[in-house]
Amino acid sequence: MKIAFVKTAGDTMASMRYRILLPAGALREREHEVQLIDSYISPTDYVEEKYSDFHVFGKHFNPEVDFGTAKIAQSKGSAVIFDICDNHFGNQFASYYRNMCALADYVTCNTPAMKEIIFQETGKDAHIIDDPYEYPEKEARFMPGQNPINVLWYGHFTNLDTVQTMANQFKQLEENISLCVVSNMKPKQPAEDKNLFISFHPWSIKTQENMLEWTNFVALPTDVYDPRKITKSHNRLVEGIRGGRFVIAHPLPSYERFKDFAWIGTDLSDGICWADENPDLALEKIKAGQKYLRENLSPDHIGQQWENLLDPK
């Protein structure tokens, strides 16, 4: 197959890495002809050699160009795939998302919750393509009895509003907590307390890897009542397990399949207490999770998911 992924932003963005760069690389490894196209090329410059069997439009905010480019691709016999990894049906991009869904030959997404919203908003039945894991697998480790207990949060600045909720839950603990926040923007400083100490590091892949080595827990709070967050994928949870650390997380639909490999509940302080009281079980969960990820979410597995959609046997 000839497959073109239309790039939308810098290569460091999570949506670019998980939804475009990693799948493109996996499909190349599976011996397909794959190219990356700049999304901001003018449709009038969309020349014949850009032809592919499929054009995948990822996380896009370029309606002036995308719609015309997609139509030209279809006019040359190429099928258009519109991939949705965030819920933008309630903001200024809603009409653009609906128009692209209507035009697309296939709509794809990364979670069951996003699939449901796409159907509600457009009537299109989306196909779920998982986010692959990205980081190398690290040795599983859990160290009970830390003082302070090292906790890591990482993510995009749009999720920083959940850090305060997490901080408030940690203040209930008697133990000291050293909370490291890794993001592309510094959060409003949550109120520290006698047992809570907070540090910030600008995000990079290397920084996240380094802090996974430092931490005992990866903490993933969220607002389960926010329709923008309920569709989030499992990628941050997966990378915590791949990093060999114990993940504590608020419940999201995409986390349900990992409930045997992490602690998922409404109060993250309970997750810290459970793991410290059951260190052997915590370690077993991490190891079992790593095995599950190797068998289900490698980039090659995700390349196969794309193959199953675009070229079913």
Question: Residue ranges of the alpha helices (H) in the chain?
Answer: 14-16, 22-29, 63-75, 94-103, 112-122, 161-170, 205-214, 235-242, 268-277, 279-296, 299-310
Give the Cβ contact number of residue 69 at 10 Å.
25
* pLDDT of res. 104: 95
Q: Are 137 and 298 in contact (CB under 8 A)?
A: no
Instruction: Tell me: pLDDT of 184 over 90.
Output: no
At 175, is the secondary structure helix, strand, or coil? Answer: coil
Query: Which residues, 6+ apart, have CB-to-CB distance to 49 below 8 Å?
Result: none
Residue 31 φ/ψ region, left for φ over 0, alpha for ψ in the -120 to 50 degree band, beta for the rest: left
Confidence of residue 228 (pLDDT cuts 50, 70, 90): confident
Query: Which residues, 6+ apart, have CB-to-CB distance to 280 below 8 Å?
Result: none
Q: Are 230 and 113 in contact (CB under 8 A)?
A: yes
Query: Does the pTM of the predicted model rise above 0.85?
Result: yes
Domains present along the chain, CATH in parentheses: 2-131+298-310 (3.40.50.2000), 149-296 (3.40.50.2000)
Of 246, 300, 291, give the one whose Cα is nearest residue 271.
246
- Per-residue pLDDT reduced to its tens digit, 27-53: 999 999 998 887 656 555 554 555 689
Confidence of residue 8 (pLDDT cuts 50, 70, 90): confident
* pLDDT of res. 43: 54
DSSP 298: S
- Per-residue pLDDT reduced to its tens digit, 98-108: 999 999 999 99
Structure tokens at 216: 């005992």
Confidence of residue 224 (pLDDT cuts 50, 70, 90): confident
